[in-house]
Amino acid sequence: MIVPHNAMFDTGMLTAEFRRTGAAADDLLSLCTLGLARRHGRTAGSLRSADCAPRGSRP
């Protein structure tokens, strides 16, 4: 499972790279943090990854 901030972009890119190498990405699971931010009321301000994460939660 991957947890990207924009799963549509990241899974598309990863699927293309898997195909390019001859591997299958049939079961690529993802949890989109951008979708979660939208779904759970993050409407004010920016939806950038850095703005959605709680302060101090990023390295």
Query: How far is 34 from 36, CA to CA, in rounded Å?
Result: 5
pLDDT at 20: 92
Q: Tell me if the pTM is above 0.85.
A: no
- Phi and psi at 30, nearest 5°, equal -145, 155
What are the pLDDT digits (tens) for 20-35? Answer: 998 887 777 888 888 8
What are the pLDDT digits (tens) for 44-59? Answer: 677 777 676 665 555 5
Residue 11: is its pLDDT beyond 80?
Answer: yes
- Map out the domains of the chain as residue ranges: 1-42
